[in-house]
Structure 1
Amino acid sequence: MPQGDDSFVPEPELTYKCRLYLKKQIKKAPGSVSLDYDKERRHILGMMKRTINMGESNSALVIGPRGCGKTTLINMILDKLRRKPSFHDQAVVVELNGLVHTDDRLALKDMTRQMGLDNVVDGKVFGSFPENLTFLLNCLKSGDRTTSKSTIIILDEFDLFCEHRKQTLLYNLFDVSQSAQAPLCVLGLTCRLDVTELLEKRVKSRFSHRQITLFPQAHARSALSKRMELVKRLLSLPSDNEDGACEDGCDIDLVFSRCWNKHIEELLKDQEVINIIEKHFEIQASERALRSFLTVVVSRLTSSHPFLSLYDFVQTYKQFTADAKVNMLKGLSVLEMCLIIAMKHHTDIYDGNPLNFEMVLRMYLKFVSQNSSVNIVDRSVILKAYEHIKNLELIIPVKGCSRHVQKEHQMHHFLPLSEQVNTAVKEYQNLPTEVEQWAFSSLQ
């Protein structure tokens, strides 16, 4: 595969600028979900516009599997609204995430910050939770539809907000929305189809029960061709601008941009590259996963390797599809690997029955006694290695096992498969020959 135009050899600084620009573009560039969810996009956009322009209050849930583009779709709609100069004078957007805002107090504090209310009354907003809530609700309810600033509240990971005590925040937001006391649009994003069953009765009675479902089948139509178009767009440099100026002050030579884009166009015609992208799509269909994949591909650019190649895609694909447990095993010390092998043999001999430290220790000491070249270590060191394996969750405690049992006798299940251990042993660098032979020896 050609590395690019041989007549053009970029300077190291130019390669660095190219890599930096592409990483930012892969992270920030608009996605392709609007093409797949055009009907849903118009529905949500209409709701937000009615809230902003007509003072209409709304609440709705956007439901779809992880990675289908819920958050990306909402961000694209908000970006479109924010392009209008009058948007910031008419509306304020509050974005909360159930993974970050783990209780109502944190959510309320961040809401006041994003709404610019944290300095309205000195210290009052950061008082008790009831005071904060009362103050925020009074701010939302003040004025009328024509004088109040519209508020759009996005609740990502909505199902996690349902776990908050008494669902106080959800109740009050839906109550303000339903009673139309202020122009308020509450939009929850979740992957749970049964999310409305998580709502308390009083909260459910104030929810509009409007649900917008994103079906993955719609996203899958013509998936590969759209995926290739997105890859090409994310990996291309700007070449139409005469001065070659990129955003964030990243200036890239116009000649290099054209050369790079021509190379990318040819590279993406390679059937092996197409196969890799298709295989990656079959494993992880989300656009987020693709962007992570391309970020690693671009990271392989260096001053001595200024153009992407098939090899970069192959190596990145291997990295993404590598067995996580095998990689974890390959990172263990030789002593820990010996204990893993002992656990593997024990599991094979006793048909997957649980094990404890004393059982593993006996098997390991038997191996050491038969191999004079293997160094003998203290019991305390072996126990520490065993504890490290436990902390990595390569072994897990047997359910129902009493915690009062001495830790050397606590029973555990061994999680890695024999094939995973064998693969790790084969790929382990500088593993002593005796240990490798022990791993593949017949059952003792």
Structure 2
Amino acid sequence: MKSSKRKSKSSKETDPGETTSIQNIQDELRLRFSQNAPSPSLHGYEKERGQLFDLIKRTASTGESNSVLVIGPRGSGKTMTLNSIYNELIEDDNIRENLLQVKLNGLLQTDDKIALKEITRQLQLENTLGDKVFGSFAETLQFLLDALKCGSQSSKPILFILEEFDMFAHHKNQTLLYNLFDIAQSDQAPICVVGVTCRLDVIELLEKRVKSRFSHRQVYFLNNYSYENFCDICMSYLKIESKPVRCDFIKEWNKQVEKLSKDSTVRDVLQQQFQFNKDIRALHHILMYVVCQLNETRPFPTPSDFVEAMKVTSTDSKSAMLHGISILELCLIIAMKHLTDIYDGEPFNFEMVYSEYAKFAQKRSSMQMYEKAVVLKAFEHLLALELVKSTDGSGTRIQKEYRLMSLLIHPSQITDALQKYPQCPTEVKQWASTSVI
């Protein structure tokens, strides 16, 4: 009897149905965290979403032309919100048949010719364009829009989404932006131009003629959700509603997720992440690690998974770089730290750094005093690692020893690096923790 119970228990642990359910959940959540699927919910941007929804819907349903800039830091949900609006609009059969969408990215479409080819491809007008020759960019774009007109001479509404909008402002004469805004303003064709950018000063990049044709509508996404919203977003990403997974397993999964949302350890991890970075994509990295730990013996996430995920994802890259530099370079970093403290954040030059280093090395008989040329080479290596940067610009003719520099490392990162640095001399640690010698 006991042996049969053991057998049934072991068979339950390796239940093929449960294994398949775990794999299905992992596949779905990985897809969700890799941003290839829309977010299950939106939080904190109801007003902004409503403004954009009304604007785009008027173009899609009544043919009203519009232009707008969506501005906010990376990972604040700008593109995700636009995708959810488009997906909601095309649920209407009339809008789905008429509304066309063109997505451009300033990092990919680096000039107007490439952008025009991409517009032609997405509108599926390669055959219509053929080998025709046009005198200007405006004529070509207008021909493409005219080609979309049907028998009643009414053109299909087009939604233009320009990701990395500030990069398009660097195109020669800003021709693409000028023509799109001009068409939107003059109602030559029903289009809605939505620029997406993280630069708050993007308007200043536009030429006067482009500004005159832009509507100056701006919608800001400023990560204004609360900590509770952040926790809700986290749990909404973990919850499952798909049908391929067994219903009983889904219920148990969502029940465990609900428990996690109330667990003090998990909430501490989320609180730490919220204070450090509100970017939802950073949250994705934590959740991706948690989901990847699932297996047949551990089918549900645990609080310890969140703690470990936070340790892995919050590794400071600059502190890690400091672990690999030489003792001499570490001494130069400490000298720069002292100079930054003395002069209240003002720039310094190599001669000042060398003077601080020399005073330290001369007072410590156990420390080797390197020649100035060797120290300069170490200083240049720190510059190449981008731990230090020049404030004079690349075109300056000032001798490199006197070029003004600023330190790109926070004092807390230096302290952390010294604690973990392998076989760091005691006097170096003491020098870093005390005031300037």
Per the normalisation by structure 1, the TM-score is 0.74
C-alpha change, 1:51 and 1:350, in structure 2 (3 Å) is closer
> Aligned partners of 1:346 and 1:195: how far apart in 2?
35
Q: Is 1:82 equivalent to 2:94 in the alignment?
A: no
Give the counterpart of 2:165 among 134, 146, 158: 158
C-alpha change, 1:24 and 1:111, in structure 2 (3 Å) is same
Any gaps of 5 or more consecutive residues in structure 1?
245-252
> Aligned partners of 2:66 and 2:195: how far apart in 1?
8
> Aligned partners of 1:17 and 1:335: how far apart in 2?
52
1:122: how far off?
4.5
> Aligned partners of 1:399 and 1:159: how far apart in 2?
25
> Aligned partners of 1:180 and 1:334: how far apart in 2?
66
1:78: how far off?
1.0
Partners of 2:392 and 2:404 within 8 A in 1: no
Deviations 1:146-169 (A, max 9, x none): 553321111234344334332221
1:112: how far off?
2.0
Deviations 1:111-134 (A, max 9, x none): 22222234544465xx89x55542
Deviations 1:13-52 (A, max 9, x none): 655654333221233242533x644454444334434433
Q: Is 1:231 equivalent to 2:200 in the alignment?
A: no
Partner-residue secondary structure (3-state), 1:19: helix
1:75: how far off?
0.9
Give the counterpart of 2:291 among 285, 289, 298: 298
> Aligned partners of 1:80 and 1:350: how far apart in 2?
56
Structure 1 equivalent of residue 121 of structure 2: 113
Structure 2 equivalent of residue 354 of structure 1: 348
1:326: how far off?
2.5
Aligned length: 419
Structure 1 equivalent of residue 106 of structure 2: 98
> Aligned partners of 1:341 and 1:101: how far apart in 2?
44
Structure 2 equivalent of residue 329 of structure 1: 322
Partner-residue secondary structure (3-state), 2:102: strand
Partners of 1:22 and 1:235 within 8 A in 2: yes
Structure 2 equivalent of residue 134 of structure 1: 139
Structure 1 equivalent of residue 277 of structure 2: 284
Partners of 1:152 and 1:186 within 8 A in 2: yes
Question: Please, which moves more after superposition, 261-270 or 303-312?
Answer: 303-312
1:355: how far off?
4.1
> Aligned partners of 1:150 and 1:273: how far apart in 2?
47
Deviations 1:197-237 (A, max 9, x none): 5543433333344x2534659x53xx344433332221134
1:79: how far off?
1.4
Partner-residue secondary structure (3-state), 2:213: coil
Structure 1 equivalent of residue 3 of structure 2: none
Per the normalisation by structure 2, the TM-score is 0.75
Structure 1 equivalent of residue 261 of structure 2: 268
> Aligned partners of 1:385 and 1:114: how far apart in 2?
52
> Aligned partners of 2:232 and 2:86: how far apart in 1?
24
Task: Report % sequence identity.
Answer: 36
RMSD: 4.3
Q: Is 1:30 equivalent to 2:30 in the alignment?
A: no
C-alpha change, 1:409 and 1:263, in structure 2 (3 Å) is same
1:418: how far off?
4.6
Any gaps of 5 or more consecutive residues in structure 2?
1-8
1:425: how far off?
1.0
C-alpha change, 1:345 and 1:230, in structure 2 (3 Å) is closer
C-alpha change, 1:407 and 1:225, in structure 2 (3 Å) is closer
1:94: how far off?
0.7
C-alpha change, 1:153 and 1:413, in structure 2 (3 Å) is closer
Structure 1 equivalent of residue 5 of structure 2: none
